[in-house]
Amino acid sequence: MKHLVISFFLTVMFGLGLMTPRAVAEETETGNFQIMKATADKVWRLNKNTGEISVCSLDGERMVCTSSSEAMRPPAVTYEERQAEKKRAVDAEKEKNMVFLDRALAAIRSLFEASMERGSGDAQ
């Protein structure tokens, strides 16, 4: 009985696989790219459909890919502009943190002042 159930299950799964439209299977397939080379910080990939080679690397949390067709054009943003933008972002984050710390310090000061006033009132 156990073998019959397993055989039935496998037959149903195989039948469902045959009924799946080919277009859906191709959309979910990631076989368009082939990894040509990978290092610690870069990946070279080949698009099998177009023959285009892309070099991909991480820029913070973003994946930045430069294709072989884009390699001949200068980038829209220069390296100096990108570094300046990163510095502005870091400075903005530092300023935001300083504002938070200033508010936290002001709250602690007001607690100490209230405690000192309450303590001097109880002493009299």
The answer to whether 53 touches 46, Cβ cutoff 8 Å, is yes
pLDDT digits (tens, 9 = 90+) for 41-73: 888 888 888 888 888 888 878 878 887 665 556
What distance in Å separates the CA atoms of residue 24 and residue 17, rounded to the nearest whole number? 11
CA atoms within 13 Å, Cβ hemisphere of 7 = 4
For residue 25, is it within any domain?
Answer: no
Confidence of residue 12 (pLDDT cuts 50, 70, 90): very low
For residue 24, is it within any domain?
Answer: no
Confidence of residue 6 (pLDDT cuts 50, 70, 90): low
Decide which of 12 and 113 is more confident.
113
Number of separate domains in the chain? 1
For residue 17, is it within any domain?
Answer: no
Taking the model in full, what pTM does it have? 0.36
What distance in Å separates the CA atoms of residue 37 and residue 45, rounded to the nearest whole number? 7
For 54, residues 6+ apart whose C-beta sits below 8 A from its C-beta are: 44, 45, 47, 65, 66, 67, 68
**Domain range for residue 102?**
77-124
